[in-house]
Amino acid sequence: MKPVVQKPRPKRQELVVPAKVPEPVKEQEPVVEQVETPAATEVAAVASQAPAGPGVPDGAVGGVVGGVVGGVVGGKAGGQGTAPPIYTPREVMKLPVLLSGKPEYPRRAREDGITGVVMVMVVIGTDGAVEPGSPRIHRSVPGLDEAALESVSGWRFSPALGHGGAPVRVKVVIPVKFALR
C-alpha cells in the first residue's frame, strides 16, 4: 500500500497595500467674515440712542446684558465666538464607545475578494455623532475606502468625557474591518 501524500493547500493571499503616509493634521481657525448689513447698522444706531428699558437689555432687542450688537451669546466681546476645542484620546477621561453602526461591504469588493482594515480619522462631537465633513482616510485599502467613509459618517458613539466630566469633542482613528466569512 502506498502512503498517501497530501499536497499543501495554497494559502489564500490577502491583498496587501502599503499604507499611505497620512498628511499632518492642521488645526485651522475657521475664517469668518463679519458683514455689516443695513439692518444691523440701523439696530446699532437705534440701540445707542434708546434708553435701556425692561425687556430690552442694553437697548438691543434680543440682546443680553453686556452684549454687543451682532455678537454671539457666550462669545467674546466684538467677536463671533469660537467652536469648542477638539481633544485627542490622551486628553480625555473617558473615550467614546460605539453604540451603533457597522460597515456596508461593497458588492464589487466582496466579489473581488478584497478584505482589509481601513483606518478612518473622525471628530466625534459632544452629542456622540460623527461631525459632518470630519471623516478622513488615515490608512487606505483601495476598493473599501469610500464604503468606510460612508459607513462611519452614520455611526453613533457615547460622547467622550473631559477631565471635568463634561462631554467634549475628540478626534479619534477608527478601524473599519472588512472580512469575508
In this predicted model, what pLDDT tens digit does every residue of 47-77 receive, in sequence order? 334 444 444 444 555 555 556 555 555 555 5
- Burial class of residue 16, CB neighbours in 10 A (0-12, 13-18, 19+): exposed
Return the DSSP state at 89: G
Q: Are 89 and 170 contacting, i.e. CB atoms less than 8 angstroms apart?
A: yes
Pick from 36-40, 53-57, 131-135: least confident: 36-40
Mean pLDDT for 100-123 is: 94
Give residue for cell 446684558: 65
Q: Find the helix or strand (DSSP H, E) in which 145 lies.
A: helix 145-153
CA distances from 86 to 76, 136, 139, 164, 166 (A): 19, 15, 21, 15, 13
Proportion of the chain above pLDDT 90, given as a percent: 51
Model pLDDT, residue 93:
95
pLDDT at 115 over 70: yes
Q: What is the mean pLDDT of the chain?
A: 73
pLDDT at 126 over 90: yes
Mean pLDDT for 121-145 is: 95
Model pLDDT, residue 50:
42
Q: Give the confidence band of 39 by pLDDT, cuts at 50, 70, 90.
A: very low
Q: Give the confidence band of 83 by pLDDT, cuts at 50, 70, 90.
A: confident
What is the grid cell recorded at 43? 439696530
Q: Give the confidence band of 19 by pLDDT, cuts at 50, 70, 90.
A: very low
Model pLDDT, residue 30:
41
pLDDT at 144 over 90: yes
Q: Give the confidence band of 117 by pLDDT, cuts at 50, 70, 90.
A: very high
β-pairing, 86-87 vs 167-178, is: parallel
Neighbours of 122 (CB within 10 A): 23
